[in-house]
Amino acid sequence: MLYQADIRVDGDRPWDIRVHNDEFYARALAGGTLALGESYLDGWWDCDALDEFFFRAARAGVGRQIRLNLRMIVSIVQSILFNLQTKVRAKQVGREHYDLGNDFFESMLGPYMQYSCAYFRATSDLEEAQKLKLDLIARKLGLKHGMRLLDIGCGWGGLAKFAAEQYGCSVVGITISREQKIYAETACRGLPVEIRLQDYRDISESFDRVVSVGMMEHVGYKNYRHYMETARRCLNADGLFLCHTIAGTESITLSDPWLAKYIFPNSMLPSAAQATKAAEGLFVLEDVHNFGADYDKTLMAWERNFRASWPLFSDHFGERFFRMWRYYLLSCAGSFRARGIQLFQFVFSNDGLLNGYTTVR
């Protein structure tokens, strides 16, 4: 399988792997992506360019050649029988991931604190590309002074702050992370911005615009319809809803097991079909924009920032975390580079704009 992907064992190219434990092969074949990642954390193998390793493996379809094992089957059955993203379970990703530390995320993400895909147009600078992404969202929504904006999954408040400062909007942002709420309230102090620690299912107010960036990945397939119903319920008759989400190329009901265990518990990627199916009968789809290739650049910039700032956090997190975090960022970068994962922005209206929607790029 590695040969098909032009990956050599103990080769001298950056994407070749060095195997330190011969039990690695049986472990990876038996346990799939979870075992592959855990064996890396355990130091059983190394690679100088993990992003290139995963790019080649993904393009060659290596993952599709791994057979289902008992653990995978149990996980699939659980995802069918149970709602893994209930209000109680949804808080887990806040505690275990987003509450790792605001200083940690700030060192990686930069001043806009955007933990989502940047928009690299006529720039290679992460900060500028994130600003372009924020302005792209504002222009797609047609934000104007005095509008009331709901930000579902507001993160550290970067978009709320931008909309208030640059477009004169009043904003309500909701998050399930206590650390994000603390940071966002400080960042937006003095602006017409309210940050709430609240589940999206509990909000029922009227807004001129609704936006959700990097949130649908945490909703779960059993709740996609409820998520869309919430946006519809909160949106004024002539409003617009923008949903910015990572998406897979196939409809699934289960997350990648390694990412679910170590990075984003209870999360999964929707497909474009699942997103639009959930909106069927609720919204008119006005615009779809895929700039998933930009996520490769975003992740590589985050990884460089993470590596540069690591001495500040090494004593607190330890070497195993260092390997885990780089594996997370670089494996995702390689997957986006291989175009196996996409980044969509959907723009929805309630009943269709009478004069049509002007596409913004």
Cβ-Cβ contacts under 8 Å for 118 (sequence gap 6 or more): 126, 129, 130, 132, 133, 294, 297, 298, 301
Looking from the CA of 58 toward its CB, the CA atoms found within 13 Å total: 20
What residue has token string 């147009």?
A: 121
For residue 193, which phi and psi values (nearest 5 degrees)? -130, 130
Neighbours of 225 (CB within 10 A): 17
34, 45, 361 from 27: Cα distances, Å: 10, 12, 46
Contact assessment for residue 189 and residue 165, using Cβ atoms and an 8 Å cutoff: no
Neighbours of 56 (CB within 10 A): 21
What residue has token string 């195993």?
A: 320
100, 313, 358 from 117: Cα distances, Å: 20, 24, 23
Cα distance between residue 148 and residue 224, in whole Å: 24
Catalytic (active-site) positions: 332
Query: What SS3 class is residue 153?
Result: coil
The structure tokens listed for 11 are 């080769």
Cα distance between residue 88 and residue 105, in whole Å: 24
Cβ-Cβ contacts under 8 Å for 304 (sequence gap 6 or more): none
